Amino acid sequence: MAQGIQSEVIQYNAVGVCAQGIAIQIFDGIVQDVQFYGGCNGNQKGITALVKGLTIDDVISKLSGIRCGNKDTSCPDQLAKALILYKNKRLEFKQSQSEQEHQPEEV
């Protein structure tokens, strides 16, 4: 990403899963990075690697409705829910000068 171009970083408090929160960096409708706080480290890294570079709509389409065990939701589903809220302008974001400078705050 070119230096000086702004990206949006949203913070989401996860509900019903082991992860407590999710920070999502978005630039021009594309997921640039995802950071989960809590939960299974390996699964969170896998989810992050798989969604980087995808459009918001692609992530929502692929992850919505995934369940974890007998729970009604999962960490991937919570990521999709956060992106739906963002897309519907119901989740605030903060500006970041560049992808390299961004250090998400723990939620």
- One pLDDT digit (tens) per residue for the chain, 107 residues: 456 667 899 999 999 999 999 999 999 999 999 999 999 999 999 999 999 999 999 999 999 999 999 999 999 999 999 999 999 987 655 544 443 343 444 33
- Rg (Cα) of the chain, in Å, rounded? 13
Centre a 10 Å sphere on the Cβ of residue 16 and count the other Cβ atoms it contains.
12
According to the model, what pLDDT value does residue 102 have? 38
* Domains by residue range for the chain, with CATH: 7-96 (3.90.1010)
According to the model, what pLDDT value does residue 93 have? 54
Q: Please tell me whether residue 46 adopts helix, strand or coil conformation.
A: helix
Question: Token pair 């692929």 is at which residue?
Answer: 62
According to the model, what pLDDT value does residue 22 have? 97
Structure tokens at 42: 């390996």
DSSP of 48-93, one letter per residue? HHHHTT-BHHHHHHHHTT---TTSS--HHHHHHHHHHHHHTT-S-E
- In whole angstroms, give the CA distance from residue 8 to residue 67: 28
